[in-house]
Amino acid sequence: MPSRNPAKPNVSIRRSSVYASSNANRPSLQSTSHIAAPPKESRPVRDKNFQIECMRNLSDYLVNVRYPAPVTSKTLSSPTAKEFQSIFRYLASTLIDPGMIWSKKFEDDALTMLKDLRYPGLESISKTAFTAPGAPQSWPSMLAMLNWLVELCKAHDNWNDTNCISDPILSLPTELPLDHPYLEDRMLWNFASKTYNQWFDGGAEEFPEAEQELMEMYAVDRVSVANAEQTFSLAGILQKYQLELQQLQIQEPPLRKLEDEYLQLMGDKTKFIAFIDLHRQKADKTRQAILKIRAAVSEQRDELETHRSNLIVIENAIAAQNLSPDEVNRMNHERDSLHRALDDLRGKIAEASQASYDNEMLVTRGMDRFETLHAEYAALTHNIGKRSLQSEDDSENVPMFDADIDVDLGVADLDALKSIGTFMRSSIWQGLQSRRERYRQEKLTLDNHAIVQEDLYDRSRQEVERQMEEVSTLEVKLKMIHDQADAAQTKLATDNVNTNKVIAQLENEVTSMLAASQQGVLVSQSQLESDKIAYKELRHRTAILQDTLVSHIGIHIDAIIRAKEHTNNSLRSIRLIAEAQ
């Protein structure tokens, strides 16, 4: 039983039930304008562990509240309709109204009440389940519903517990912060209830204690502490922001870094586009070479078909001739000679083909090596910046040349190909040498310019450091002035606080002298109420302890009886064994 806090107003806040107590056909008074549908069932009502937990919770609650009827394991596993209705009516009366009257149609009343309470598993419960609640197909849902009602009853028991609630109307005004949005409403409620009780009970016309308590709510100390905490918090936030500002001023602007990255990415994009164009040109050349090879293969096939047709014609002409045996022998001898000569020619052709294949492989490897070197050369030219190394700002001393190597390796004139390669090598090599010398001169110029810029940067940095030292000196002076102003303001505030304390102390003494007699009576009444509440709690705890001891003694007696029966059965079996022997 929760104890009453003496600081709360002595008023009764009754929450009316939404169910009629005397109407036989009790309709639901739930607001029809509430559009939201009831929540759906999400609990594992068919799970054995969940059912065991629900039975334990239901049994513990009924024992703690001293349910008048006996609760056995059969009642919690397969109750009769009468037992279920008794438990349901007890929980509903505890939750809603102890004096509520039930109609003859228990099923309609129960379904209406569960609908008004927005029970989440209402879809799984029907009137048939209330008629036979202990049936295997109905009991899991009914047990989950009883467990849900038990949880509501537990929450209802702690409705006015200050350790569990967060409603400002039920909290003490002194426990609410000064910036709470409902502080003024709570103070008004507390002051009005106290003054009304004093006026109604004793006919008081003045209320010094309530006024004094209302003044203490806005005491200077509490306001000063709140202001000091807020000032300290704002000072920490200001210091944090100043540090962040200094770090941002010291660091390089991120926009400049992003601009450099953008320029670099655009340059890489241009290089990659040029590289892709080079590979596209290479792919076009490869396609043209493949087309030439396919044309040559088609010509060879046509020539082979022609030779096969000529062979058939010759064989038919020989078969049509009428030759003597000598001529036939002579022709066979000539054919053998021709076959041998043909075999020699085939061997020579095979050797020539192998030599040609070897030479072709050497040429292929050379072309692959050339392609690899050409790719490396192209990549190197792209790394330099552009394939054509001649730019618009070249001087007359640097000759113009094109660094792109474009050679058709499929030409028949090898001497022309060698002369073109020699010319391109000499021209590109000379151009690269001159370009390297020019770039070396530009690098020296840039290095000298960088040294000059570093010197200027060092001088600027020294000037900035000198100005920062001056700024630091001025900040120290400004801080000293601020500290002096804060000290003067603090001293003035302290004097005001001391003066207010003296005034409040004098007012409290005058008020305490005027209300000494009334305060003594109130203290005696509050002490008597506290003693009564403590006595009721002691009796309640004693009854609970008595019930617990009785249940434990019953358990031990059952264990002793079972042990005695087991001993008798064992002795009886031993005696039978002895008689049999």
Structure-block tokens of residue 309: 């047709």
Question: What percent of the chain has a predicted confidence (pLDDT) above 70?
Answer: 79
Name the more confident of 355 and 174.
Answer: 355
Residue 512: pLDDT over 80 = no
Decide: 572 and 565 in contact? Cβ < 8 Å. Answer: no
∠ CA 182-206-220, nearest 5°, is 50
Name the more confident of 211 and 227.
Answer: 211
| pTM attached to this predicted model | 0.31
Name the more confident of 508 and 65.
Answer: 65
Name which of 166, 196, 378 is nearest 272 in CA terms: 378
CB burial of residue 405 (10 Å; 0-12, 13-18, 19+): middle
* DSSP for residue 143: H
Helix, strand, or coil (residue 271)? helix
Decide: 96 and 17 in contact? Cβ < 8 Å. Answer: yes
Identify the band that residue 53 occupies on the pLDDT scale cut at 50, 70 and 90: very high
CB burial of residue 133 (10 Å; 0-12, 13-18, 19+): buried
d(CA 460, CA 103): 97
Residues 6+ apart with CB under 8 A from 115: 28, 30, 38, 122
Structure-block tokens of residue 162: 């200050």
Q: What is the mean pLDDT of residues 325-343?
A: 82
The rounded Cα 373 to chain-centroid distance in angstroms is: 53
> Which residues of 57-123 form beta strands (DSSP E)?
none
Residue 16: pLDDT over 80 = no
In this prediction, residue 404 carries a pLDDT of 65
| 54-68, 133-147, 279-293, 502-516, range with the lowest pLDDT | 502-516
**SS3 sequence of 363-432:** HHHHHHHHHHHHHHHHHHHHHHCCCCCCCCCCCCCCCCCCCCCCCCCCCCCHHHHHHHHHHHHHHHHHHH
| 87-96, 181-190, 234-243, 450-459, range with the lowest pLDDT | 181-190
Q: 488-508 pLDDT, tens per residue?
A: 788 877 887 887 788 878 777
Residue 266: pLDDT over 70 = yes
Identify the top-confidence range among 14-28, 212-226, 338-352, 392-406: 338-352
d(CA 359, CA 355): 6
Q: Does domain 48-165 have CATH number 1.10.418.30?
A: yes
The rounded Cα 280 to chain-centroid distance in angstroms is: 47
State the virtual CA torsion across 107, 113, 118, 123 in degrees, nearest 10: 10
In this prediction, residue 391 carries a pLDDT of 45
Q: What is the mean pLDDT of residues 540-564?
A: 85
